[in-house]
């Protein structure tokens, strides 16, 4: 007699159709199911009393409002504008028609703009994470080892600048950008720490502005500022290399010079 498989047990636990005829006849499977149910029930009970402190929600609300301020959005204690908008829409049919004609393209614009700004926010977040006190992360690292690690994880080796003249590659990490795995590494420079983050999105996708052309620089560079960070990007192959550094220490021009050096020092493999 064949006993139920783990997969069949899991289906029964989820209330799905399964071989219940065998179960009704087999004491071993009945016992096995009872044990699985006992563990599952006990585990669920163990978390019944796990609840966040009220202060945690307040902290999150505060941080979200802070983020809104950084984004230049109004922090409102009243009803959401969407609800207020609905009230107005019902006032007259004509007004609604006009509003409809204006609101659709505006909503599309705002949605695309919000998504692009969210991309910048994510770049800053990755940079901040790179700056967080993970001492191991900033320990001396061999660029070849870093490159091998990134290749192993990402499937390709990002371009890296040659070290020297005050530049040193300090470490790398894998993060998520728009829910996709992406790589970044940290370069220590005389002016401060810079994160180079490699993403598939184009600079335009991240709402960056084209920088004026500079003599001797063959590539188009893009720039933006978000929160406390400056960022400059350049497209190289299928990826955009985004340099991110603190506004107080790293200018757009400095980031552009670093990325230009990246282009001249290495080629992506």
Partner 1 sequence: MSADTGSFEEIALGYIDVVYRVAVGLCGKSVDADDLVQDTFLKAFERFGMFEQGTNCKSWLLTILRNTWIDRLRHQKVVGNVVSLEDDIIDQAGEVDEDVKLNSSELLERFSDEQIIKALKRLPHEQRLTLLLIDVEQLSQNDVAEIIGVAVGTVKSRVSRGRMELKTRLESYAKEMGLTGGEK
51 binding partner 1? (CB under 8 A) = yes
12-43 in b/e form (b: 16+ CB < 10 A) is beeeeebbeeebeebeebeebbeeeeeeeeee
What are the Cα distances from residue 237, in Å, to 56, 126, 252? Answer: 44, 22, 22
**In the set 2, 52, 190, 212, which binds partner 1 (CB under 8 A)?**
52
183 binding partner 1? (CB under 8 A) = no
Of the listed pieces 45-53, 89-97, 214-222, 250-258, which binds partner 1 according to CB under 8 A? 45-53
Nearer to partner 1, 6 or 238 (CB): 6
What are the Cα distances from residue 261, in Å, to 164, 197, 223, 227, 234? Answer: 12, 15, 17, 26, 12
50 binding partner 1? (CB under 8 A) = yes
36 binding partner 1? (CB under 8 A) = yes
42 binding partner 1? (CB under 8 A) = yes
118 binding partner 1? (CB under 8 A) = yes
Of the listed pieces 126-134, 203-211, 238-246, 258-266, which binds partner 1 according to CB under 8 A? 126-134
Q: What are phi and psi of 167, to 5 degrees?
A: -95, 135
Nearer to partner 1, 59 or 269 (CB): 59
Q: Is 162 helix (H, G, I), strand (E, B) or coil?
A: coil
Nearer to partner 1, 125 or 261 (CB): 125
**In the set 160, 175, 229, 242, which binds partner 1 (CB under 8 A)?**
175
What is the Cα–Cα distance from 51 to 103, expressed in whole angstroms? Answer: 41
Q: What are phi and psi of 189, to 5 degrees?
A: -125, 165
- Of the candidates 20, 23, 13, the one whose C-alpha atom is nearest the C-alpha of residue 44 is 13
Which positions ≥6 away from 232 have C-beta within 8 Å? 211, 221, 222, 223, 242, 243, 252, 255, 256, 259
CB 48 within 8 A of CB 23: no
Of the listed pieces 78-86, 160-168, 197-205, 241-249, which binds partner 1 according to CB under 8 A? 78-86
122 binding partner 1? (CB under 8 A) = yes
**In the set 3, 20, 30, 60, which binds partner 1 (CB under 8 A)?**
60
Q: Which parts of this chain interact with partner 1 (CB under 8 A)?
A: 6-7, 9-11, 14, 31, 35-36, 38-52, 56-57, 59-61, 63-64, 67-68, 71, 73-74, 76, 79-82, 107, 110-111, 113-115, 118, 121-122, 125, 129, 132, 134, 136-137, 139, 141-142, 145-146, 149, 171-176, 178-179
């Amino acid at each position: 007699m064949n006993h139920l498989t783990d997969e069949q047990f899991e289906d029964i636990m989820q209330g799905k159709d399964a071989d219940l005829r065998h179960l009704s006849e087999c004491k071993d499977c009945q016992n096995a199911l009872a044990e699985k149910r006992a563990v599952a029930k006990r585990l669920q009970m163990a978390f019944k009393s796990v609840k966040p402190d009220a202060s945690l929600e307040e902290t999150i609300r505060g941080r979200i409002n802070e983020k809104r301020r950084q984004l230049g959005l109004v922090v409102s204690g009243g009803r959401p504008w969407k609800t207020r908008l609905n009230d107005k829409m019902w006032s007259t049919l004509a007004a609604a028609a006009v509003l409809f004609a204006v609101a659709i393209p505006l909503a599309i614009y705002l949605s695309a703009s919000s998504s692009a700004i969210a991309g910048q926010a994510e770049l800053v977040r990755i940079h901040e994470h790179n700056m967080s006190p993970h001492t191991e992360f900033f320990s001396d690292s061999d660029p070849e080892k870093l490159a091998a690690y990134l290749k192993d994880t990402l499937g390709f080796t990002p371009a890296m600048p040659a070290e020297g003249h005050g530049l040193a590659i300090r470490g790398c990490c894998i993060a998520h950008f728009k829910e996709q795995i992406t790589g970044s590494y940290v370069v220590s420079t005389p002016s401060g720490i810079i994160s180079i983050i490699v993403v598939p999105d184009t600079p335009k996708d991240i709402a960056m502005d084209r920088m004026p052309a500079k003599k001797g620089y063959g590539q188009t560079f893009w720039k933006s500022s978000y929160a406390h960070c400056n960022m400059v990007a350049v497209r190289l192959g299928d990826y955009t290399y985004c340099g991110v550094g603190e506004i107080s220490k790293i200018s757009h021009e400095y980031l552009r010079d670093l990325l230009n050096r990246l282009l001249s020092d290495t080629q992506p493999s």
